[in-house]
Chains A and B, each alone.
Chain A
Amino acid sequence: MTTIWHAEDDLLRAYAAGSADDVVASSVEAHLVACGSCRSRLARHVPQDRLFSNWEAVVVALDAPRPGLVEHLLVRVGVSPSTARLLVATPALRWSWAASVAMALTFSLVAATRPGAEAFLLLLTAPLVPLAGVALAFNRSLDPSAEIVDATPLGGLPLLFLRTASTVAPSIVIAGVAGVAVAPLDETWWLWLLPALALSALSLLLSSLAPIGKVAAALGGLWAGGVVVTEAAARGSLQALRAGGPPESLLFRTPAQVLAAAVAALAAAAVVTLTRRNAEPWRRL
């Protein structure tokens, strides 16, 4: 014969209000799990506002976005959770990453199948990767919510610059890694870096005059054409381009590199000044 024990009302009230001490609360809880009649008596003692706020917290937690893998990684390396959220949300960023990876794979393929000519090809293509990244990140028409985003305090230039930095930085790293993989470290592998920065900064500056996609395409075309023409001129003929060896174009000599650094610095400074002085240099709707 067992005595049936039930929780008293005072006990239930204290438990419901959260004022019972831990030992009492856990024994009441153990009993509640097994006893239907005490559970139904408990319901009367639960304060409405506590129930409501608990329920709210559950609902909010259920609907809250769960951070994905990339977001976790970004937070791990020190990016603030809200900045990480902004970065992973941007569709243009994914495309730009995909483009960078595709480019790196192409380099490796070219290197595997045509040994010898890769140094020149690498120097021609590598600056185009960050340039494409800038065009994707800075292109408002690729953001479906541009109009809503524009009217927010962080949605204008801060967001565009954040996106641009987050596409240019990894694309430079990926192109760099591909470069090292293709042409093991020698004195020519970094020669694309300054032209890449100059082209990216120049495209940002010129985007106040024309859509950034067109600007980037034009600059990219000029760069590729310029490299082919000057390289062919230096080697004597177009056929000579098939031969391997270090790049000979004057674009990869010291004067041109200094010029590229100057253009990059001036264009970047002009972008910052224009942005500060002019109301909406990037908003020609």
Chain B
Amino acid sequence: MTTVRITHVSKRYGRTVALADVTAGISPGITGLLGPNGAGKTTLLKIAATVLAPDEGRVELLGMDPANPKDRAAIRRRLGYMPQEPGFYPRFTAFEFVDYVAILKELTDRKGRHVEVRRVLDAVGLGEVAGKRIRTLSGGMRRRLALAQALLGRPDLLLLDEPTAGLDPEQRLRFRQIVSSQPGRTVVLSTHQTEDVAALCGRVLVLAEGAIRFDGRPSDLAAVAEGRVWAAEEEAGGGASVSWRTGDGLLRHIGSPPAGATLVAPTLEDGYLLLLAQLATTERAA
């Protein structure tokens, strides 16, 4: 079953092309969106969250058409969305804010709603500060608050725009536990953290310049760099696309081997960096 189906979708902001003729289908499970800033990840998530209409193309969410107002409301009943830069009412407490969103999600029974609000706040570890005003919360706490409201009502489609930005390692671990305990649901998350994708996702899409450049399993993305990652002691000639000196003093090369280098196993990040470097090269050539 495909929960998100996007067919020939384009979106422009003035002259800037955010998405150029994108076609993709996303099924239940966790899908990661990787890509440099400005690649179109946020635009894609906004379209899937029904807050932005595409200029061209067709969108189908949970088997329904978001362009139809009735369908759109039905989709939104089964949707959880955490935007990249969530804003809050600073005078509200954490509980009041999530309660407000819960009302907008049609949880009208007061008692049941309050229990659900409590559940999502506890899930993201904000139970202790539920009664505190949002302006007194730290940046990481606010991000978790934005995640909490997305979890309201156990949505079938969970869209998270850079959910781990600004979280410390323990909070990121907790986030992974929350997201991976949503069996049968479709979770789409955009991130810059390749470790999140490697740890969580069954599938990864790489976006660059408004187009999908890779679509496959995380191990397939790592395999892009298979036989192309080298460790060397000295800076040397050769056609390395990317190289940097790591903490253990060795140079890590991705691309053609420098003299005296040894081959090492590629990571997801190696595959991703190599893919972007190859794209940049073909563009320069074109």
- Mark A residues whose CB is within 8 Å of B: 56, 59-65, 80-82, 85-86, 89, 91, 143-156, 159, 275-276, 279-280, 283, 285
CB neighbours (8 Å) of B53 from chain A are 279-280, 283
7 other contacts beyond A81-B110, A149-B101, with CB at 8 A cut-off? A60-B118, A82-B108, A85-B100, A143-B87, A280-B53, A283-B51, A285-B13
Q: What size tier do the contact residues of chain B reach?
A: 35 or more
CB neighbours (8 Å) of B96 from chain A are 65, 89
The CA-CA distance from A159 to B103 in the complex, in Å, is 11
List CB contacts (< 8 Å) of B87-139 with chain A: 87-90, 92-93, 95-97, 99-101, 103-106, 108, 110, 114-115, 118, 127, 130-131
Are A82 and B110 closer than 8 Å at their CB atoms? yes
CB neighbours (8 Å) of A86 from chain B are 100, 103-104
With A82-B110, A283-B51 as contacts: A147 and B103 at CB distance below 8 Å: no
Interface flag for B44 (CB, 8 Å):
no
Are B95 and A148 closer than 8 Å at their CB atoms? no
List CB contacts (< 8 Å) of B239-274 with chain A: none
Are A65 and B86 closer than 8 Å at their CB atoms? no
Kindly provide the distance from the CB of A241 to the nearest chain B CB, expressed in whole angstroms: 44
The CA-CA distance from A82 to B106 in the complex, in Å, is 9
CB neighbours (8 Å) of B49 from chain A are 150-151
Kindly provide the distance from the CB of B60 to the nearest chain A CB, expressed in whole angstroms: 14
The CA-CA distance from A62 to B248 in the complex, in Å, is 53
Interface flag for B185 (CB, 8 Å):
no
The stretch that binds A, out of B74-82, B165-173, B175-183, B191-199, is B74-82
With A63-B93, A63-B131, A147-B83 as contacts: A153 and B52 at CB distance below 8 Å: no
CB neighbours (8 Å) of B105 from chain A are 152-154
The CA-CA distance from A151 to B189 in the complex, in Å, is 16
CB neighbours (8 Å) of B85 from chain A are 147
Chain B interface, >50% SS class? mixed
Write out, one digit per residue, whether chain B residues 42-86 have a CB within 8 A of any chain A CB (1) or not (0).
Answer: 000010011111000000000000111100111011010111011
Residue in A61, A154, A275, A279 whose beta carbon sits within 8 Å of that of B103 in the complex? A154
CB neighbours (8 Å) of A65 from chain B are 93, 95-96, 99
The CA-CA distance from A59 to B74 in the complex, in Å, is 32
Interface flag for B6 (CB, 8 Å):
no
**Could you give 14 example pairs across A and B, Cβ below 8 Å?**
A59-B118, A86-B103, A86-B104, A143-B87, A146-B87, A147-B83, A147-B87, A149-B101, A153-B106, A154-B103, A159-B104, A280-B52, A283-B51, A283-B52
CB neighbours (8 Å) of B231 from chain A are none
The CA-CA distance from A62 to B73 in the complex, in Å, is 33
Residue in B66, B69, B104, B108 whose beta carbon sits within 8 Å of that of A155 in the complex? B104
Are A285 and B52 closer than 8 Å at their CB atoms? yes
Kindly provide the distance from the CB of B122 to the nearest chain A CB, expressed in whole angstroms: 9
CB neighbours (8 Å) of A155 from chain B are 76, 104
With A86-B103, A285-B52 as contacts: A60 and B81 at CB distance below 8 Å: no
Interface flag for B188 (CB, 8 Å):
no
CB neighbours (8 Å) of B93 from chain A are 63, 65
With A62-B131, A283-B51 as contacts: A152 and B101 at CB distance below 8 Å: yes
The CA-CA distance from A89 to B89 in the complex, in Å, is 8
For residue A66, which residue of chain B has the nearest CB?
A: B96
CB neighbours (8 Å) of B86 from chain A are 145, 147-148
CB neighbours (8 Å) of B229 from chain A are none
With A65-B99, A155-B104 as contacts: A148 and B83 at CB distance below 8 Å: yes
Are A148 and B81 closer than 8 Å at their CB atoms? yes
Kindly provide the distance from the CB of B18 to the nearest chain A CB, expressed in whole angstroms: 10
The CA-CA distance from A151 to B105 in the complex, in Å, is 9
Residue in A91, A148, A279 whose beta carbon sits within 8 Å of that of B67 in the complex? A279
The CA-CA distance from A279 to B47 in the complex, in Å, is 12
The CA-CA distance from A146 to B97 in the complex, in Å, is 13
For residue A285, which residue of chain B has the nearest CB?
A: B52
Interface flag for B10 (CB, 8 Å):
no
For residue A81, which residue of chain B has the nearest CB?
A: B110
CB neighbours (8 Å) of B99 from chain A are 64-65, 85
The CA-CA distance from A91 to B90 in the complex, in Å, is 11
Kindly provide the distance from the CB of B131 to the nearest chain A CB, expressed in whole angstroms: 5
CB neighbours (8 Å) of B89 from chain A are 89, 91, 144-145
Residue in A63, A144, A153, A280 whose beta carbon sits within 8 Å of that of B118 in the complex? A63
CB neighbours (8 Å) of A156 from chain B are 72, 76
For residue A84, which residue of chain B has the nearest CB?
A: B103
CB neighbours (8 Å) of B46 from chain A are 285
Interface flag for B146 (CB, 8 Å):
yes
CB neighbours (8 Å) of B108 from chain A are 80, 82
Interface flag for B31 (CB, 8 Å):
no
The CA-CA distance from A145 to B96 in the complex, in Å, is 13
CB neighbours (8 Å) of B52 from chain A are 280, 283, 285
**Most-contacted residue by chain B among A144, A148, A156, A275 (CB, 10 A):** A148
Are A154 and B69 closer than 8 Å at their CB atoms? no
Are B149 and A60 closer than 8 Å at their CB atoms? no
Kindly provide the distance from the CB of A179 to the nearest chain B CB, expressed in whole angstroms: 34
The CA-CA distance from A192 to B131 in the complex, in Å, is 46
CB neighbours (8 Å) of A279 from chain B are 53, 66-69, 72
